[in-house]
Amino acid sequence: MKKKLLITGSNGFLGSNFISKFKNKYSIIKYDKTTGKDIIKINKFPKVDIVLHLAAFNSTKDFYLQPLEVIESNFLTTFNLIKFYKKINKKITFIFAGTPESASGAIDLFNYKIPTDEKVPFVIPNLHNPRWSYAASKSLCEIMLIHSGLKFIIIRPHNVYGPKQKNHFIPEFIDRCKNNNKVKLFGWKNKRSWLFVDDFCIALDKLINSKKAVNQIINIGSNFEHSVLEVAKEIIKQKYKNKKKIIKLKAPEGSVKRRVPNINKILKLTKWKPTTNLKQGINKLLNDK
């Protein structure tokens, strides 16, 4: 019998890719505010085996422009779901998408080790910088879920990219390239470990079906570390045969200099590891129909 999943943010980047890949494996109930199912305004949800809570404001622009809305959305959606399922069905597994942004301050300010494991403490470097509205609210949601009494899996996806993504560095840079021979690149020195979305979906599927993953916090990411400049150059090489000039600009205040997850835990729990390198991932993205 198929497991029944409620997926929030079902029309978003991660949700839509997961559904496309595994729609025949699970019985999926979709919730997304773009379809009128805004979790903030709903207080009754269907009976399911698993809640996969992916819905969130997830654009850096939003963090800066509407921080209060980011906090409200992240907190209230999570609170409403936990409150409902805690009352009716404590046997469900609640999977929540946290963020490695919560750990950024520990790395930048206190030199926490890289690759970074799941034990890293939350550090919010500057309460006055609206960028931290996202990480702070996601951190609170993690704590709330851990102490809810529900079975949980907290995932921390690291720099996932691929088809259907919007309002993030890679799709925005591709858009800027279209009509400009000189292309602005912000934070070009920053380094990330980039993860193609198909690899993410496979990891998530394995965690859903892993009893050992319950009540764990788990990084999902890769050790394919590349600078923002390297990613930009790979896009220009593949799509424009190097016929674009990059204008290097500094990163916005609060932007993380380096992010690499330790993925030993997910490897141990599920034997998953990423298989798509940057060159392959960019190729798949650019050729997606």
Angle (nearest 5°) at CA 71 between 219 and 186: 65
pLDDT on residue 46: 95
**CA of 230: how far to CAs of 48, 70, 77, 197, 235, in Å?**
43, 30, 37, 19, 9
pLDDT on residue 206: 98
Mean pLDDT to the nearest integer, 13-25: 98
**CA of 258: how far to CAs of 84, 154, 157, 162, in Å?**
38, 22, 15, 20
Sign for the CA dihedral angle at 5, 8, 11, 17 comes to negative
Looking at every residue in the chain, the average pLDDT score rounds to 95
User: Which CATH number is 4-161+195-224+259-274 given?
Assistant: 3.40.50.720
The burial of 179, by beta-carbon neighbours within 10 Å (0-12 exposed, 13-18 middle, 19 or more buried), is given as: exposed
Percent above pLDDT 70 for the chain = 100
pLDDT at 50 over 60: yes
23 pLDDT band (50/70/90 cuts)?
very high
Lowest mean pLDDT among 6-15, 75-84, 101-110, 147-156: 101-110
Mean pLDDT to the nearest integer, 154-174: 96
Counting runs of H as helices and runs of E as strands, what totals does the chain give? 10, 13
65 pLDDT band (50/70/90 cuts)?
very high
Mean pLDDT to the nearest integer, 179-206: 96
pLDDT on residue 110: 94
CA distance 36 to 41: 10
pLDDT on residue 87: 92
- Region at 214 (left for phi over 0; alpha for psi -120 to 50; beta for the rest): beta
287 pLDDT band (50/70/90 cuts)?
very high
pLDDT on residue 90: 76
Helix (H, G, I), strand (E, B) or coil at 221: coil
pLDDT at 289 over 70: no
pLDDT at 253 over 90: no
pLDDT on residue 134: 95
Mean pLDDT to the nearest integer, 105-133: 95
pLDDT on residue 254: 79
CA distance 280 to 288: 12
pLDDT on residue 60: 84
Q: Where are the domains of the chain?
A: 4-161+195-224+259-274
